[in-house]
Amino acid sequence: MILGSCTSLQFGAALAAQLFPALGSWGVTCLRLGIAAIVLLVLVRPAVRGWNGGQWRAVLAFGLALGAMNGSFYAAIERIPLGTAVAIEFLGPLVLSAILSRRAADLACVVLALAGIGMFGLESLAGAGALDPVGVLFALIAAVFWGFYVLASSHVGRQVPGQGGLAVALAIGALALLPLGAGGALTAVTRPGLLLLAVATALLASVIPYTLELAALRRLPRHVFGILLSLEPAIATIAGLVLLAQVPTVYGLLAVVLVVAASAGTTITARRAQSRGADDADRAARPAPSDGELETLPVDEYPAALSVQAIAEPEAVTGQFPVLDPQEHEADDVGGPDRP
């Protein structure tokens, strides 16, 4: 399920890149967030009238971070290869994890990831290829907002039960991007073929992967889940090769390997820190997490890899660890409201 999710997510991002010439990256981002918001709002029907000021502020910050993260990432993959952009973007959650944990092992993982990103610089110096500096800048901006997204999603998970906060945040993110993406979005509305591709992108990059991930979380320990998601840059490189004819260089492949190793390393060290002093045999015999254990992770325990969904839409993190309403949970065999 996790490998299927990662593959769907990255191929969805690659499909979105094919819409850029007609709609522009901001138009495609606005469409994707808007379609996802409509689907979630219809399915979840959040009780916004009962929200207080603190809840609204949390959701507003979440939506703005989500929109900026998605928009800048799509602007990046419009200019640089998909695998490269994903690798650079991973710096956001990796650095945040190191700052919050203060573990030497996490700092070492950040250094390893930086070494990987440095491979792109060596590639340019060796004359093997040069990256568009604007594209790199957008990827770095996306990394920064990914870090903000992690903090904001954790806060919303504590403040707003269920997926209501996520649904409204998606709508806020889409509205925030309208000044930049309205032209492209309107073009798609008047051209059914493009609109159909946009819907397919939303399905591949949102509906399918998040459904698979939520199901997988009920069967896998969270650290295993995080390690598998660390494969995202590698799968993004494959998607770029297959759909966009972006052939990676030796330097690019080495960069991806180092970033994947760094992301998996932060997840492994986080798991070891949590399990230190516990009985290994007891943990090995423990069954997969139940629905009630799928809670929002504390920010200081947030494995970097778990924020990966975003390649195009990391907003799923809140949905992966929903704060379940007891009454709602009793009425729903799968735990919480249905998700797209």
295-318 pLDDT per residue, tens: 444 443 334 444 433 333 334 444
The span from the CA of 44 to the CA of 302, in Å, is 26
Q: Confirm whether 128 is domain-assigned.
A: yes
**Structure-token pair, residue 14:** 């690659």
Instruction: Tell me what percent of the residues of the chain surpass a pLDDT of 70.
Output: 73
Q: Nearest CA to 254 among 105, 136, 72, 126?
A: 126
**Does 134 fall in a domain?**
yes
153, part of any domain: yes
Instruction: Between 325 and 244, name the one with better pLDDT.
Output: 244
The answer to whether residue 75 scores a pLDDT higher than 90 is: yes
Q: Which residue has the higher pLDDT, 311 or 262?
A: 262
- In a domain? residue 333: no
- pLDDT > 70? residue 332: no
Cα 132 to chain centroid distance, Å, stands at: 23
Average pLDDT rounded to a whole number, residues 184-208: 85
The pLDDT score that the predictor gives to residue 177 is 93
Mean pLDDT across the chain: 75
- Among 2-6, 91-95, 161-165, 213-217, the minimum mean pLDDT is found in 213-217
For the cut 80, the answer to whether the pLDDT of residue 156 exceeds it is: yes
- Please state the three-class secondary structure of the chain as a single string: CHHHHHHHHHHHHHHHHCCHHHHHHHHHHHHHHHHHHHHHHHHHCCCHHHCCHHHHHHHHHHHHHHHHHHHHHHHHHCCCCHHHHHHHHCHHHHHHHHHHHCCHHHHHHHHHHHHHHHHHHHHHHCCCCCCCHHHHHHHHHHHHHHHHHHHHHHHHHHHCCCCHHHHHHHHHHHHHCHHHHHHHHHHHHHCHHHHHHHHHHHHHHHHHHHHHHHHHHCCCCHHHHHHHHCCHHHHHHHHHHHHHCCCCCHHHHHHHHHHHHHHHHHHHHHHHHHHCCCCHHHHHHCCCCCHHHCCCCCHHHCCHHHHHHHHCCCCHHHHHCCCCCHHHHHHCCCCCCCCC
The Cα 159–Cα 13 span in angstroms is: 30
Q: Which of 159-173, 210-224, 296-310, 317-331 has the highest mean pLDDT?
A: 159-173
Q: What is the pLDDT of residue 294?
A: 41
Distance in angstroms (rounded) separating the CA atoms of residues 108 and 7: 28
Range of the domain at 267: 2-320
pLDDT at 151: 84
Does residue 57 carry a pLDDT above 90? Answer: yes
pLDDT surpassing 90 at residue 134: yes
Is there a domain that residue 334 lies in? Answer: no
pTM of this structure: 0.73
Give the mean pLDDT of 7-35. Answer: 89
**Number of domains composing the chain:** 1
Number of residues assigned to the chain: 340
Q: Does 25 score more than 90 pLDDT?
A: yes
Q: What average pLDDT does this structure show over 320-335?
A: 38
- Please state, in angstroms and as integers, the Cα–Cα distance from residue 253 to each residue in 13, 236, 312, following that order: 19, 11, 21
pLDDT of residue 328: 42
pLDDT band at residue 129 using 50, 70 and 90 as cut-offs:
low
pLDDT reading at 329 higher than 60: no
Give the residue carrying structure tokens 């610089």.
121
Within a domain: 325: no
Could you tell me the pLDDT band of residue 274, with boundaries at 50, 70 and 90? low
Across the range 91-99, mean pLDDT stands at 79
- What's the pLDDT at 142? 93
192 is a domain residue: yes
* Highest-pLDDT range among 141-145, 307-311, 314-318, 330-334: 141-145
Is residue 337 situated within a structural domain? no
CB 94 within 8 A of CB 266: yes
The predicted-structure confidence for 286-297, as pLDDT tens digits, reads as follows 454 444 444 444
Mean pLDDT, range 34-57, rounded to an integer: 88
Choose among 258, 233, 267, 261: nearest CA to 118. 258
From CA 104, how far away is CA 254, in angstroms rounded? 23
The structure tokens 């957008």 sit at: 138
Asked if residues 72 and 143 have their Cβ atoms less than 8 Å apart, the reply is no
Q: Does the pLDDT of residue 275 top 90, yes or no?
A: no
Q: Is the pLDDT of residue 178 over 90?
A: yes
